[in-house]
Structure 1
């Protein structure tokens, strides 16, 4: 039987740590890390609260996507609904439900976990849980009042095969859209969506309250 790969915890000794920059939501940390040969090197990385993202699939097997301007890359990217875990220990499902409501005014009855990823583990500790949301419909009440970049969002529903083709063609670049799209495609080709982990599955990277 082939060995099943799994990442595991490990922590090398840190002899000193400093935070030279603190931002509104994230910061930069510099650690002095002891290498296996005993040398000590500096490692700079972004300290991030974590994020959630949602692949919302409608009854016609179309995925909800949003177009948003991203200043660091100077592009307007097609993405899936996503947002920060703003409260320490926040339940990621509750955060995902909030983001789906705020960004798309959509609610969902069925939730599963598609994938858990570190976005850039060489330079950030950001962890993202990507959910699958099914049985979607318009949310109740008034729409969330979007501001700044979110005020200019476009919204579309795209068949999954079209998204996969666009990713492979190099036309779509948002990391959680790529992860979510490819994970959904793989799940459909494999054991099916009902075999996905439940929405409250443990997440060691960001432990949460029930």
Structure 2
């Protein structure tokens, strides 16, 4: 997610002049999770019952730097240490009609159907065009910080910030509108994705032992009741 307190992470950088730092062959595109699985929603409802409800931990203010270098490959989660940065991994996973630059990690062109809005976005890699698609933290880093992540060690926070389970390619406007909000104050305008969105937030919070605010839990229950 583009955290307002720290500004957006870079969406484009010039390619290296040497291929020495690139993989000898591009890794295969990651496989996206199939949406709309009823079993997933049943699991989310059960997980939601077990998540702790507490107030926000405001002992220290959130800073983006507390979660390490943006899009680091030096992580112990899926796609970590594959020679590609996390943004490129998620673009290759989420874009349709994908064209990857040979022997690189770079999505050159593709099409995104933004899960948050349903909008179709044409993507072309470049200094003036890559920002048509951004990567959102489904559970915002600030939300995680105030609901358990403050006590984590730096590597766990770095892993969280780059965990593909918590990342989606989305439109810049949707990313900005969501910002640091939890489900009590923001759910996707695309009604067809709301169940998957809430289920994913619950899965991530369960995996990392994050807690919920009381209003957040009620909002999640209301969404899942219609799934």
TM-score range, shorter chain: under 0.3
> Could you say which structure has the higher strand fraction?
1
Looking at both structures, which has the greater relative contact order when contacts are Cα pairs under 8 Å and sequence separation is at least 6? 2
Whose radius of gyration is greater, 1 or 2? 1
* Higher share of residues assigned helix: 2
